[in-house]
Structure 1
Amino acid sequence: MEHQEWLDNLIGDDSRRTAAVRAKTPNSTLARQYENNRLTPEMVIALCRAYELSPISGLIATGYLNSDESTGDIPVEFALEKASRAQLLHEIDRRFRLGEA
């Protein structure tokens, strides 16, 4: 997908200036990248975060990642951060019962 098209779809009725403010990036930087039809990966990530879109989705749509590179596998330490207390305790209990602890 063209980067200009991707950005236009992402921001909808917002102006690019508004998008730059939301992404906490200089408007001139976004404008220059938009005119060159080449957003940097960092810009794509900032815009995704500003518009509550997964940065992975944005990086795939703009060609920085292939869809097969997004397998959903995340390092354990990051997965553990997302686990609830109940999920962590359940896993600890399961491991004790299996003698894995």
Structure 2
Amino acid sequence: MGYAIVWLVNTILSLMTWAIILSAIFSWLFAFDVINRRNQFVAQLADFLDRITTPILEPFRKVIPPLGGIDISPIVVLLLINFLKILFNRLTAPILIQMLG
């Protein structure tokens, strides 16, 4: 059971990382007019990624101002997610595995 919980937490953190990366890539592609929102699939995918990442990024966007028009909050959040992942795997995961097997 402990291994399953550790796997689930790591998977959720990895999915959050990929969602933030994909959201940033989509925003760049929209900004440089490589893709547009008129394509229904692209619009739905971008809307889905925005709905997932906005609650995570918004508190950091309120605190961190854009630098020269570039939003660095995704970078800060990715660093924080990786920090949490390392912290969880080093401190909490062994305890969960030992207690729950």
- Give the TM bin, normalised by the shorter chain: under 0.3
TM (norm. structure 2) is 0.27
Larger radius of gyration: 1
Q: Which has the higher contact order (CA 8 A, sep 6+)?
A: 2
